Structure 1
Amino acid sequence: MDKLNKNKNFGVPDGYFDTLSNDIMKKILKEDFSMPPNEGFKVPEGYFETFNARLSGQLEIIQAEEIKVIPLKSYKKHLYAAASVAAVVLLFILVQINNDKTPSYSDLANSDIEQYFEFNDLELSSYDLAEILPIQDMDLNDILESRLDNDNIIDYLDSHIEDFEELNMHHDD
C-alpha cells in the first residue's frame, strides 16, 4: 500500500463522476426509510377535528381579558443616556463659569511674592526695579514694615542732622 501512495497523488478513477449520480440513486432505493410503528409522536384521536373549536374558544377568552402590552423597544435607556449627557454638559458649563475669574496681582499673598523674589534671580539692579515699580502710587509706609510718623521723622532729623544742606535739598533751576 505504501508503494501505491508514493507514486500517486490524489486521483479519481476514469469515469467516476459519470456514474456517481446513478450509484447514489441505487443506494437510496436499497435503503428502507419507513418509521417503526412504536417510535415517533402520537396524536390523540379526534384531535384535529376539535382543534378549530378549541382554538376559537381560547381566542375569545383572550380577547375578553385586558392584555398588558409590553413594548419591545424600551426608551428608558435612551432617556437615561440623554439625561447623563445633559448632566455632564451642565457640570462642564458651571465649572467654566466659575473659572472665568482671571487671577490678579491682588490675589497673590505677600509671602508668595517675597518667596518668588527670594528664590528666583531676576538679575535686576535697584535702578531697573525703580523704573519698573510705579513710584507715584507708592507710599514710603508701603515699603517699610513699621509705619513712620511725621513726628518721628522730625525728631530723627533734629538729632542726626545739623545742617539742612546735608539733606541734599538743593534745586537746580
Structure 2
Amino acid sequence: MDKLNKNNSFGVPDGYFDTFSSDIMKKIAKEDASMPPNEGFKVPEGYFETFNTRLLEQLESIPAETKVIPLKSYKKHYYTAASVAAVVLLFLVVQFNSDKTPSYSDLANSDIENYFEFNDLELTSYDLAEILPIDDLDLNDILEIRLDNDNIIDYLDSHIEDFEELNMHNDD
C-alpha cells in the first residue's frame, strides 16, 4: 500500500478496524436506550409470518388482462387539431362571404395622401407633367385654398395700378 499511495495524507489509527464492530454495537445500544418505547412504528403480531401467503393471494386475484392506461394523453393533440380546423374554416367562410372586391374609390383620401407622402416614388416634376393630363387639370385641383372669381378681382384691384399691366400680348 505504501507503493501505491505515497502522497496520501489520510491515515487510519492502528487497531481501528479491530474494535470497529464493537464500537458500532455500543453506539446502537446507547441510542436504543435513549429512544422512548412509544415512538416509532408498530407491526401487528404475526404480520411477517403471514405476509407471503397474503401477497400471493392478492396477486392471484388480479385478472390476467388489466386495463392499460397510457401515460401520454392524446386529447391535447385532438384539441389542437380541432382548433386549427376551426380557424381554417372560419377563414374560408369569411373569404367566400365577402362578395365586394376593394376598388380605388373605397380608399379614403387620407390613405392615398399618406401613401404618396411616406413612399418615395422618385418622380421628378417633369415626370409628373408627362403623366398628368393638362387639359383636364384645374388650378383649384392643385391649390389647397379654392380661388373664387371675387377673390381674384379683389386682389387685382388692390395690387395693380394700371389695367394695361395685365395685357400680356406682345405686339412686337
Which has the larger helix fraction? Answer: 1
User: Shared topology, TM-score over 0.5?
Assistant: no
TM-score (ref. length: structure 1)? 0.35
TM-score (ref. length: structure 2)? 0.36
